[in-house]
Every structure is written in C-alpha cells, then in structure tokens.
Amino acid sequence: MIAQRDLSLESKQLKAFEISQEAEDIYETATREYQNANYIEAIEIFTKVIELEPEYFFAYHFRGMAYYYLLNFKKAQKDWDKASQAMKTLSPEKRK
C-alpha cells in the first residue's frame, strides 16, 4: 500500500519535470516492476533512468525504496540523500 500511495503522489508531480521520452518510458517500466514488488529488476531499471537523467530525483527516491524493501538500508539512505540533493538544485518553479 505504501508503494501505491507514493507512486500516486509522484504521478501528479511528474508533469512538472522535463525528462527525455526515453527516460520517461524506462521510468514507467521501472515503476511497474516496483509496484509488482520486483525490486531487483526495478533497481536495475531505475539505474538506467539515473544514467540518462542524473538529476531526476524520483528515480533516486524509488530506487531507494526498492533497496529499503530488500533490507539494504545503507543503499536506500544513499539514494534518498541523492534525491534530496537533486530536489534542492531544482528551480523553484519546478518544485511545485
């Protein structure tokens, strides 16, 4: 249930951020894997998104959540820290 709620909030905010179509398509695949609790696959796919869009904090956040559910708390925290840092670098109009 937590994952569904997080993704629902994220989908409302997604429109405020411009990423490449390729990254968006890959991100959608990653979120499907995440929603289906395929966390290892989700991590691999979120990593591809991050390679294409290194400042896209949603990918870090949900990769961190996948690590969390796999009980890899150190990597989860590292990704959440990166997500937080990426969010701080956004211009105010993109933080809505």
Q: Looking at residues 11-21, what average pLDDT do you find?
A: 65
pLDDT of residue 40: 98
Paired tokens of 80: 């959440």
Domain 2-95 grouped into CATH 1.10.760.10: no
Contacts with 60 (C-beta within 8 Å, 6 or more apart), sequence order: 46, 50, 79, 80, 82, 83, 86
Q: How far apart are CA 44 and CA 30, in angstroms?
A: 8
**How do the domains of the chain map onto residue ranges?**
2-95
pTM for the full predicted model: 0.78
pLDDT of residue 12: 46
Model confidence pLDDT, tens digit, residues 64-73: 999 999 999 9
CA dihedral 88, 96, 62, 86 (to 10 degrees): -20
89 confidence band (pLDDT: 50, 70, 90): confident
